[in-house]
Amino acid sequence: MALDFDNRTAMITGGASGMGLLSGQELAKQGAKVVLLDVNEEGLAQAAESIRSSGGKVLTFKTDIRKFPEVEAAEKKAIETFGSVDILINAAGGMSGRCCNNCTSFEKLPIEVIDWGLDVNLRGTLYCCRAVLAGMMERKCGVIITFGSVTGEQGGGGPAVDYSAEKSAMRGLTKSLAIVGAPHGVRACCVIPGPVLTRPSMANMKTLLGRAAEPIELVNFILYLCSDKAAFITGSSHVIDGGRLLLQ
């Protein structure tokens, strides 16, 4: 489906890999200017090259979203360069136990691992939303996409307790952003993925459809939500899990 993102700028966290990178690549193909944020500087350079080689416009910033001044600086530079930030996609995140290489059960999980999850999945997302919202409200235009998880819907044991809490919070955050933003033309939506083949291990998670999603299947829906074709959609959360939650 052809979507028009000419004269739109999208800021994407986790933009050096996975869903963030693919979102940036696809938005650039459809005319958007793309601003990629990530802690992986080498990955950002490769991501920028892939977008520029296809004729897209891109900025990259090595950014730790746990640090608001870094997020704020990236947003200001994006506006200086491209004139606006019209779309925010909060793709950065991950289960703390896996990302910190410590998958101990929750009651034994080191506090610093829990803090990593809270800081990246919750605090970082809040910081990014805070950084872009005022400008969007002033320009009377904007879309914010948050990422939940089926783990946030069904709960998670072992090392996934904090991740479940952080991701379930995205529903409330999205509703609140929609309430605040609606009088000013700003929409917010939450995407709740099931297993997605950004990692091979995702193929082992059962779904009603018998497979994990290809990343492009989620990104196509994200782009739809960001487009004017979804102009009447806000405050809602969208489960894209191949029926995984129906197997409970």
The answer to the question of residue 246 being in a domain is no
The answer to the question of residue 3 being in a domain is no
The answer to the question of residue 1 being in a domain is no
Q: Pick the closest to residue 58 from 40, 44, 39 (CA basis).
A: 44
The answer to the question of residue 245 being in a domain is no
Question: Has residue 72 got a pLDDT over 70?
Answer: yes
User: Per the structure, how many domains does the chain have?
Assistant: 1
CATH number of the domain to which 225 belongs:
3.40.50.720
Q: Which tens digit of pLDDT belongs to each residue from 115-165? A: 999 999 999 999 999 999 999 999 999 999 999 999 999 998 888 999 999
Question: Has residue 248 got a pLDDT over 80?
Answer: no
The answer to the question of residue 204 being in a domain is yes
The answer to the question of residue 69 being in a domain is yes
The answer to the question of residue 162 being in a domain is yes
Domain that holds residue 111: 9-240
Helical H segments across the chain, by residue range: 18-29, 41-52, 68-82, 96-99, 111-117, 124-139, 150-154, 161-181, 215-226
127 is catalytic: no
The answer to the question of residue 248 being in a domain is no
Catalytic entry in 33, 163, 193, 195: 163
pTM above 0.85? yes
